Amino acid sequence: MKKILLIEKDEDIRSNLAQVLELVNYEVFTAQDGHQAAELAKREEPEMIICGSLLPLLDGYGLFQELQNHPATQHSKVVFFTPKQLNGNGHANGQLQANGHMDVLSEVVNPIRQQFNFSEKPMTAISESQTEVIRLNGIEDVLEVLIKDRDILYYKKKQIIFSEGNCSRNLYFVKKGKVKIYQTNDIGKQLVVDLYAENDFIGYIPLIENSNYTEIAEALEETELIVIPRGEFNQLIKTNQQVMNLFIHLLSKSVCEKKSQMIGLAYNSLRKKVADALVRINDKYNKENSPAFSIDISRDNLAAIAGTATESLIRTLTDFKSEKLIDISNNCITILNKKRLEDLSN
């Protein structure tokens, strides 16, 4: 098995990229800084080193020079990746850094395969313009192989699909309905971390990590889920190039979205949090961008998505209504001025 040393200071990026590389049968060692990486490389003698150039203690290029001068590592192949955009000080800010690293998961396996002379078809990068097409083709492939003659599980509104601590046994595909994924704190307060709609996959990260669920999945309305067993998912992702591309993309997208969400919860004002939650729900469930689309969601759930108290959310919605940004009728919210809300959320 080929050895790869992965060096990246961002824990989320490092963990997810390591998982993807292990899925395609590499033995992966990881380090978070240049000094740690140098010692690990000299001890393990990897065939390839994947390295972020912006590293603490010893940067990527300094590490490269040190390894080239050491007999155990001078023949190791090195792949560098860097954030695509930098601010005026030469440092990547949080969002740009996430966007720059997002492509690593979908692009880096291709040069690795070329360097090691693998015979299978190289992985292609997934651009934003290609995302929807590749995503839908991947789903169709999975359905064609796995869904035929399978039962569909039906969930009522507010019914739990899986709970924190449960063993991850299945991959779920949303045939119909809406699902939220949330976590709770010690006093039971919810934070919604993901929303899912038709044609989305749920529960793939614990399957890839071979771990238990760390979150709770609940149906927001009557929902139909197709269940794909763990063994068949693992087999498919290892043998089907297109499906592997799909889940690499989903992993990288998940990392960037969650980082952006955490930054927003930590630093955004109340108005920004609520505006962002409304835009996020609209983009997720109003695929046709219909002006008549209304958000039918409980105030408690909306507050959990925004990461605020229900009382604060209600006051902010009242303000938005008086500013003619939204309309509220029969507890359903209609967005009247999406651009203004987007400006607020940004």
pLDDT digits (tens, 9 = 90+) for 287-328: 888 888 898 888 999 999 998 999 999 999 999 999 999 999
What residue type is 243 in one-letter code? V
Mean pLDDT of the chain: 76
As a whole number, mean pLDDT of residues 231-238 equals 80
Report the DSSP pairing between strands 160-162 and 216-219: antiparallel
The residue ranking higher by pLDDT, 127 or 156, is: 156
pLDDT tier, 97 (very low <50, low <70, confident <90, very high otherwise):
very low
Angle between helices 310-322 and 270-285 (to 10 degrees): 80
Which range has the worst mean pLDDT, 19-23, 61-65, 100-104, 274-278?
100-104
- Dihedral of alpha carbons 269, 271, 277, 280, sign: negative
Q: Is the pLDDT of residue 102 over 50?
A: no
The whole-number pLDDT of residue 81 equals: 61
Which range has the worst mean pLDDT, 11-25, 92-106, 274-288?
92-106
In whole angstroms, what is the distance from residue 231 CA to residue 70 CA? 43
Count of alpha carbons within 13 angstroms of residue 119, beta-carbon side: 0
Asked whether 60 and 6 are in contact (CB, 8 A), the reply is: no
Say what percent of the chain tops pLDDT 90. Answer: 25
The residue ranking higher by pLDDT, 153 or 88, is: 153
Which range has the worst mean pLDDT, 6-10, 178-182, 294-298, 330-334?
6-10
Domains observed in the chain = 3-115 (3.40.50.2300), 131-264 (2.60.120.10), 268-345 (1.10.10.10)
Q: How far apart are the first and last CA of the chain?
A: 46
The beta strands (E) that lie in 207-259 are given as 216-219, 223-229
Q: Is the pLDDT of residue 181 over 70?
A: yes
In whole angstroms, what is the distance from residue 73 CA to residue 88 CA? 35
The whole-number pLDDT of residue 223 equals: 96
Whole-model pTM?
Answer: 0.57
The whole-number pLDDT of residue 133 equals: 33
Highest averaged pLDDT of the listed ranges 73-87, 109-123, 157-171: 157-171
What residue type is 284 in one-letter code? K
The whole-number pLDDT of residue 316 equals: 95
Q: Is the pLDDT of residue 92 over 70?
A: no
Residues 6+ apart with CB under 8 A from 234: 207
pLDDT digits (tens, 9 = 90+) for 115-137: 444 333 333 333 333 333 333 34
The whole-number pLDDT of residue 336 equals: 93
| Residue 218, both tokens | 């609940």
Highest averaged pLDDT of the listed ranges 28-32, 35-39, 220-224, 230-234: 220-224
Q: DSSP states of 273-313 as a string? A: HHHHHHHHHHHHH-TT--TT-EE---HHHHHHHHTS-HHHH
Q: Is the pLDDT of residue 113 over 60?
A: no
Asked whether 181 and 194 are in contact (CB, 8 A), the reply is: yes
